[in-house]
Every structure is written in structure tokens, then in C-alpha cells.
Amino acid sequence: MKIDDRCYLSNLIRIAISKKVTLCFFAVSTVLFSICIWKDCDQIWSYFAQESYWTPPVLVVSSDDWGGISPPETAEDLDKLRHVLQSVTDAGGKPLVLTVYLNPAGPDFERISESKYKSYFYRYCYRDKPDVAFRLHELHEASLIDIEFHGREHYNIPLWLDLLRQDHPGYREACHDGRIPWREGPGWDVEADLRLPLLRQSFLDASSYPTKALSVEKQHEMIASGLAMMEDELGVRPTVFTPPGYAYDMNTLHAMGLAGIWFLDSKIRSVPHVDTSMNIATYGPNWDYGAELVGIRGIVRNASFEPYRWEVTPQKRLRDTMIAVRRALLSKRPVVISSHRWNYVAAVNSNRNKDLLLLQELVTRIKDEAPDILFIGTSDLVKHLYLEGQGARRDVKLKMHDLSRVKRVVHGLRCTWLGHSRIRVAVCITCLLFVWLCIAGGLRKRLNRSRGAARFQKPAS
């Protein structure tokens, strides 16, 4: 090696082991590690906060927004759905169960118009679709779908009536056409009315007006009448309530108890503010399996499958869902996948058949990940978790295991390490740089000693 090359290599080594360079790289890696923790902090916190876990693994697929006033599902849609549900079976040989969250009512547009928009009237959503109602009841009796409650309607009645009375552009025309403007329409101008930003998400449930929540009595009337309609028309008494848009407040929880429905399916970090004068955007810290408010217990969704809404390749859709599924399996919690009706209805989704096959492939992959997994509906899950299995399927035996404080820490560390690949990469890089920082310190000391010795060494005569 030439002398120039040796000098160049020596300079590179000096730069690499310099304190400033090593500290800079270590600081950058620490920041990146912190960002990885921050991005997944909710998920990671849930691991450490977990007080128990359940065996064997179970899969629940929840699908919102059935019924209502949207383009209706057809008998053909339900026949296609039946075929897919029966095509995959769990460890016990039982087919997949789809939990259908139903809005049983829609507005009676004609009577509302006749009242000059002073009064609200509603009607059964399947009054003109008896074949669809029959199919739903048939699938429910065959334990292929679990019909649960999604609110009587899926829109904010007081807000909508106000817009009709004020003749807000486009709303009366839509009412005459038998529809409600929803994220679209000629009168869509969010700057024209300070209340309309709420509608960017949708007409949410009437549990909260933009300025003040509805009373317990009013919400109780809406919930109780919706439950009664489902029982009278479909012969189904729901066990679980998912508020439309996950919009609810403490009045909603009180109203649920008065109506005799004690279980709420929602998303984590969605406990409402206890001050019912606040609007729906104000949430508290957590809604989780350990939460109980005014006697209401619940479950949380920990994965999402929305192929109709995702503008990515089918494999990317499946991969994103499977990441969340693996984390739920790793933490030994029920896998609860959130989905919507629009994925499985041809009037809304031209790719319905492809998305049904994607659902089939997703469930097959989940079964490959956990061969002992069981497919159940939401009502069976809450009965096993909170009612000691009363009224639930007898072939499913869920067992709860408590975690002590020490085991909780071990469980949290294990799930964080195995369930988050970018955190593993960040930890490895940070550790390597820390080791290099230590080694570089030793090398600097040796180099400084050798340079000092060479400086004071007498030249040879």
C-alpha cells in the first residue's frame, strides 16, 4: 500500500472515530427510534396496559352501514356473500361469520315534505325489499351473519331538518328525490355554515348536535325504537351497538343502558368527554376491553379491511391488514376486523366479486397464521368475555388468563419487539452505533497515546 493511501485511510479512520461524528450518528438514530415509538405509541401502550389475554384465538369480521337509505343491497349480493362465508372454515369446521351492523330505518321523505319539514318521519328500510330482509334473516338463522345495531339511522336528524327548514341550497331538491346529500351535492359549501364541517365526515348519528348533545331521553327514544323495529321486522334482538361514525357521548351510554343494550363496539381512543355539552370531536384517553362506563362494556377493532376505499394493489391491501392481524394474534387478543357494506354490494362497488374473493383470501391467510383460530360473531365474543358464555355458541370455549405486573412488562416488550419491524431495525441500528461509540472512544485514546509517544520520542542518531 502506498504512503498516500495509508494517509488517506488513516484520515478516514480518524474521522469515523471522531467524537463529534459518532455522537451525531448516535443522536440521529435515537431520534429515528423515538419517531418509530411515537408512530406506534397507541398500539405499544395497549400491549403494556393489557391485564389479560384469551385463548384460543378468535376472528370477528365487523361490517357497518347495512340497511339505511344507501343504494340497497340485493338478494344477489347476499347470495354471493353466503358463498364466500361458507368457503372458509375454522379449526372447528365452522364457516366464517360476518357481523352486520344495521340501520333499520330511513327517512319517509314524502311525509317529511308534506309537513313542510317541521316534523321527522321514518320507515323500515326494507319495506320495499322483502326478499333482502328474508335473505338476511335466513343468513342470521344459519349463523353465517350476526345482525347487530348501528343506530336507527346513520345521519344527524336535527342538523338535516334545520338545513331543510332554512332551504339550504340543494337539500330540499335532494329530499324530493328521496336522498340526503352526503359528502356531495349542489349545496355542498362547507364555508356557508359553521355547522357543515361536521358533514365532511358524513351525517353522523344524532347523538350530538354540533353545539350541544341530545338529551338522554331523546337518544333513548331513538335507540329503543330502532331496536324494537329490528325485533319486529327481522326477528332479531341485537346485543351490541356501534354508533354511526363512532360518534357518541355520555348521554348515549346512559341511553343504551335504559334501552337494555350494554355492549359497545368502537375504536380505541374513542371514549367521549364526560361533559355532554362538548361536541363529538372531544374524546378521552381510551376505550378498551378494561373500560366500563355507566355499566357499558365493549370491544375494540384492531384491524381494517376496506378494499373498495383503498387505491392500492390487492396484495398491498392484504398486507396492510395482515400486519394488524399479526399484532392482535401476537398480543393474544381477539382479532376484530373493521369493514363496511360498500365492499360487498354491487350497486356501490363495481369490483364486488373481486373484493369478496379478497375477503376469502384474507381469512385463508389468517387461518394459515393461526390454524387453531375460531370464527365467531360479535355477540358471541361479548357473551364469552363478559357473560361467562351465557347464550353463546357452545362449541366455543374462550379462556381468560391474567397477567401480573411483571408479566405485563414482559408481554409488552415481547409484542413490541416481534410486532413492529421498524422498531427492531431502529433498536439494532441504535445499539450498533452505541457499541461503535464505545469502541471509537477506546480507539481515540490509543491513537492519542501513540501520537503523543511519537511526538516525544527522540530521533534516532
Q: Which tens digit of pLDDT belongs to each residue from 426-444?
A: 888 878 777 776 776 666 5
Residue 411 has pLDDT above 80, yes or no: yes
Looking at residues 380-391, what average pLDDT do you find?
88
Region 348-371: mean pLDDT is: 94
Question: Looking at residues 219-240, what average pLDDT do you find?
Answer: 94
Among 151-155, 193-197, 363-367, 414-418, which is the least confidently predicted range? 193-197
Could you tell me which residue, 203 or 178, shows the higher pLDDT?
178
Using the CB atoms, write b or e for 368-405: b if 16+ within 10 Å: eebeebbbbbbbbbbbbbbeeeeebbeebebeeeebee
Residue 455 pLDDT greater than 60, yes or no: no
pLDDT band at 179 (very low <50, low <70, confident <90, very high): confident
pLDDT at 18 over 70: no
Share of the chain above pLDDT 90, in %: 40
What would the DSSP string read from start to end of 336-383? EEEEEGGGG-TTT-TTHHHHHHHHHHHHHHHHHH-TT-EE--HHHHHH
pLDDT score recorded for residue 426: 82
3-class DSSP assignment, residue 194: coil
DSSP letters spanning 72-135: PP-HHHHHHHHHHHHH-B-TTSPBP-EEEEEE-EEE-HHHHHHTTTSS--EEETTTT-HHHHHH
Look at residue 281 in the predicted model and tell me its pLDDT.
41
CA 253 to CA 68: how far, in whole Å?
22
Residue whose grid cell is 357473551: 383
Residue 235 has pLDDT above 80, yes or no: yes
Q: Give the distance, in angstroms, between the CA of residue 175 and the centroid of all CA atoms in the same chain.
A: 32
**Which residues 6+ apart lie within 8 Å of 62 measured at CB?**
99, 101, 242, 265, 301, 336, 337, 338, 339, 378
Q: How far apart are CA 460 and CA 254, in angstroms?
A: 95
Is the pLDDT assigned to residue 113 strictly greater than 60? yes
Task: Give residue 163's pLDDT.
Answer: 79
* pLDDT given for residue 272 in this prediction: 52
Average pLDDT over residues 243-267: 85
The pLDDT assigned to 219 comes to 86
Structure confidence at residue 359 (pLDDT): 96
Which of 56-70, 264-278, 330-344 is least confident? 264-278
Which cell is 279 given? 361536541
pLDDT score, position 285: 45
pLDDT above 80 for 149: yes
Q: What is the pLDDT of residue 197?
A: 47
| Strand stretches in 235-308, DSSP E | 240-241, 263-266, 292-293, 296-300, 303-304
> What is the predicted pLDDT for the residue at 366?
97
pLDDT at residue 12, rounded to an integer: 46
Higher pLDDT, 452 or 229: 229
Among residues of the chain, what percentage have pLDDT more than 70? 78
131: pLDDT strictly greater than 70: yes
On the question of pLDDT at 312 being above 60, the answer is yes
Most confident of 41-55, 90-104, 150-164, 405-419: 90-104
Residue among 401, 367, 389 nearest 92 (CA) = 367
Contact residues for 350 (Cβ-Cβ < 8 A; gap 6+): none
The overall average pLDDT reported for the chain is: 80
Q: Give the three-state DSSP class for 162.
A: helix
pLDDT at position 205 over 90: no
Residues 458, 368: Cα–Cα separation, whole Å:
75
Beta bridge partners of 99: 62, 146
